[in-house]
Chains A and B, each alone.
Chain A
Amino acid sequence: MPKHDVLVIGAGLAGQRAALAAAEQGTSVGIISKVHPVRSHSNAAQGGINAALNPEDSWESHAFDTIKGSDYLGDQDAIEIMCREAPGELLDLEHLGVTFHRNEEGRLGTRAFGGASAARTYYVADITGQAILHVLYEQLMKFSEVHRYEEWFTTALVQDEDGRIAGAITRNIRDGAIELFQAKAVILATGGNGQLYDPTTNALICTGDGIAMAYRIGAPLMDMEMIQYHPTTLAGLGLLITEGARGEGAHLYNAQGERFMEKYAPNKMELASRDVVSRAEQTEINEGRGFPDGTVALDITVVPRKRIHEALREIVNVGRDFAGVDITREPIHIKPGNHYTMGGIRTDVDGRTSIPGLYAAGECACVSVHGGNRLGANSLLDTLVFGRRSGLHAAEAVHGLPLRDPDLAQLEDEERRISGIVDRDGSGRRVSEVKAELGKTMDKYVAVFRDEDGLRTGLDAVQRLKEEATDLAIDDKGAVFNQDVLGALELQFMLDNAEAIVLSAIERKESRGAQFRTDFPERNDDDWLKHINVSANGSEPEISYSDVTMTQWEPQERTY
């Protein structure tokens, strides 16, 4: 049985940052990931990372933009922490070797990003997430104290009899062996759940595993209704075109050649908050002013070619390879597409969840710093600040504590459950079928515009699919790299996520941030300036509320 003081599950930015922070405290750290760490989806964050580092900028300004962007649902204490710590975090990364863009003086240079009142996004061309992820992995290789378990799939969290976290059960993908990892603290850093939707910008691995695992042992999920649709994704495949394109000056047009953002956000135009831009696009499309393929156009040709080459290289490749479009010469068709989950496992500012010893950081967590809508380039920041804080806190908290005794029966149960899936005699639906139906359902009913009827239809479908997912057909009976059984386990995680999302969306009877209810089109601060929590105490999900923490910013009308 592998044993560590701190066990980190997930090795994207939040997980790696947490592991490094914990290891620097001299704790024994294990980091488990179902993919090799550099395959993590943090790679996909193209545009950059926000920090008020420039002397003319201030953390207060960054915080206000974030709060306004969140449609006042973000917790202001957490946002203050994130924005205050941003410059230090950014400098740490630079010192570790991230190759951030420089200005003529050789100092860190910035680009503009949506919803921000200053150009405070620091970047590496349009591979910022990739560059940071790879640099952190360099550090992980350097710190041989951090034990890496690459390509291990965690299926369940384990508690002791007092309910304190005691470890996790994990399957070695390479040989199918199931192990119980014993730990004094577990940090979940398993990322988002975009795969619930089809299409999505998210990678195939983004299946909400950690969110579901925490949910299953009673941790409340918060703000789950807040699903971000990114304004610029490729139709069909859902691949992302970075907000950096608009940051560099690209324009949006409808099929009639109108720069329609003039109507929706006359001041910030294309650089309004993502929810605002996505809604504007969807309105244009719904009202017949889009292109026949259900899109509007992003015109990057207005950006100087030299600048495109320097700063938007990846987008040139994506356009060429996946849309057959030379973005330096012609506009590219885009539409809003599933991108990010603002919600997740409820944590405090040190990553602590309601389960003793269990932490969460990054996209799987909800601190909440994004509230109803996340600003571009705040997600990398969130993963790093709260990843580090979780790692630090966990390392300090477990100091001197003994390892907990897990209930070994749980391991046997889990082994039985998994072999039960593998050995099943293929009578049910295929994993791919159920997943495809889930994706279409979510994209239809729980998208940019929502209403009670649609959400109810969605809920019925999700609940039916949940039932079907207990009897999936499995082709692969082997132990080595059995991706079929992993797919089945992931699908079950996804359906738990989906249920929490739809229930929360039904619950919130107002429009705020990413949740726009056509049947409740106004924001209603009197009744709904509060977080919705879903928890699974027993078999039925339970809804509860928690307060939004306010420090110095009162809710105002939100215009861009």
Chain B
Amino acid sequence: MADYALKIRRYDPESGEAAYWADYDVELPPERSVLDGILQVKDREDASIAIRCSCRAAICGSCGVRINGQSALACNTRIGEAAERARDGAITVEPMGNMPVIKDLVTDMEAVHWKKIRRVVPWLLPAEEPPEGQEYIVPPEAMLDVTQTMACIQCGVCVSACLSLEVDPEFIGPAALAKAYRFVGDPRDGEHESRLKDLAEDPHGIYDCTHCFACVEVCPKDVAPMNQIMRLRRKATNDFRIKDSNNGYGHEKAFVNIIEKWGTLFEAQLLPRSFGDGSLIKGQLRPQGAKQLTESLPTVYHGLKSGKVNPIKALVHPKLPDQKQVRRIIKEIESQDERIELNLYIVGEMAEETE
């Protein structure tokens, strides 16, 4: 048993008052959860604190909150560990971010999370009629692969932590895009291409993720939503060659083409090539590409003016001494029939031991 100080963000919409912090003391063994702490306060002191919770075992996905500023499930955050990370001694508990608050720790998930989930057509659109009297035959690895996204409990913790959503509330977001992968990765689904096209073309879709790992860091179920977004991109560009108007395809192609040619990044060509599906000439000739390049001109001007970008550097980039090695590797791997992916979620981080 130990004593812990909890600082809970309270908000009562009926009071007409703003949200405020309230302090509580709880007594629990350190291995118990922050949720247990909150429930103890409710049980002993003030039952009016609102928090959604049910299973206490990180499967129902109800109790997403922010603990010491970090999005998490209250039920699988140990109170002792939260106390160690707490500043000024008190564990802070706030409602999740990026969503409106209904009361205390309860957020309006319907208005944000579920709306986004419905945006990705979250049901199977089978490629063909189900086989009569039997199951669809699919590779076992494919089912294991989508099990990672199936493991999502829709708790919204990633939505709460998403740094893109913070600046673009229209971003479809990590949970919904992970849900989209659950269908795009499912061989039974017949709409892979149209799903990917939709998500690639949406300015708030797969190319609005800034690759910040915030969702990967906080997900209590190791769904790694960002990794699923990257797989959506991989399929969109490589499997279906979807040349989207957000330059997602162009950016990826430009990057790989540049590395293939020079071995290190030639920044000055990344932008124009991105605007032209990877091609420098196309990017400069295309009206849309030219427009976007013009938008970047002030930045180019600043770069030149400060002396950090000199005109020669913008035109010439040195090749790596062993560039042919890099080129060979790229050619060799790109020409393989199958893309090899090692998903540590599936094989286990200690795959070595099981091999």
Contact = CB atoms under 8 A, between A and B. Distances in A.
A96 B183 CA distance: 12
Interface string A116-159: 00000000110100110011001101100000001000000000
B104 A204 contact: no
Interface string A463-499: 0000000000011111111111001000000000000
B348 A309 contact: yes
Given A324-B31, A432-B42, A480 B102 contact: yes
Given A44-B57, A475-B47, 19 more contacts: A38-B153, A40-B60, A95-B126, A102-B140, A102-B143, A103-B140, A106-B139, A107-B137, A125-B151, A139-B123, A204-B53, A321-B58, A322-B76, A432-B47, A433-B43, A474-B47, A477-B48, A481-B104, A484-B48
Contact of A97 (B42, B109, B186): B186
B47 A487 contact: yes
Interface stretch (B127-135, B240-248, B253-261): B127-135
Contacts of A310: 144, 346
Contacts of A91: 130, 133-135
- Can you list the 8 inter-chain pairs with the closest CB atoms, starting with the nearest? A97-B124, A432-B43, A476-B48, A95-B130, A102-B140, A484-B47, A138-B123, A306-B354
Contacts of A43: 55, 59-60, 153
A384 to B, nearest CB: 16
Nearest to B121: A142
B303 interface: no
A321 B76 contact: yes
**Contact size class for A?**
35 or more
Nearest to A90: B135
B154 interface: yes
Contact of A430 (B43, B123, B153): B43
Nearest to B44: A432
A480 B123 contact: no
Interface of B: 12-14, 31, 42-44, 46-48, 50-62, 76, 78, 102-104, 106, 109-110, 117-118, 122-124, 126, 130, 133-140, 143-144, 146-147, 150-154, 183, 186, 188-189, 221, 346-348, 350, 353-354
Contacts of B122: 138, 141
A268 interface: no
A205 B58 CA distance: 14
B54 A480 contact: no
Contact of A35 (B52, B58, B102, B221): B52
Contacts of A124: 147, 150
Contact of A240 (B14, B48, B57): B57
Contacts of A150: 110
Contacts of B48: 475-478, 482-484
Contacts of A203: 54-56, 60
A472 to B, nearest CB: 10
A105 to B, nearest CB: 7
B60 A480 contact: no
A537 B205 CA distance: 59
B contact patch SS:
loop
A91 B105 CA distance: 40
A478 B152 CA distance: 33
A476 B147 contact: no
A478 B46 CA distance: 13
A36 interface: yes
B314 to A, nearest CB: 50
A431 to B, nearest CB: 7
Contacts of B12: 478, 480
A487 B226 CA distance: 38
A51 B113 CA distance: 35
Contacts of A104: 140
Nearest to A103: B140
B227 to A, nearest CB: 16
A39 B61 contact: yes
Interface string A57-100: 00000000000000000000000000000000001001111011
Contact of A305 (B59, B76, B354): B354
12 contacts: A38-B60, A39-B52, A43-B60, A91-B133, A95-B135, A99-B186, A141-B117, A310-B144, A431-B47, A432-B44, A475-B46, A478-B103
Nearest to B355: A306
Given A35-B52, A91-B135, A318 B140 contact: no
Contacts of B147: 99, 124-125, 127, 131
Contacts of A481: 50, 102-104, 106
Contacts of A475: 46-48
A487 B353 CA distance: 48
Given A43-B55, A44-B55, A130-B59, A479 B102 contact: no
Given A139-B123, A174-B102, A480-B13, A130 B153 contact: yes
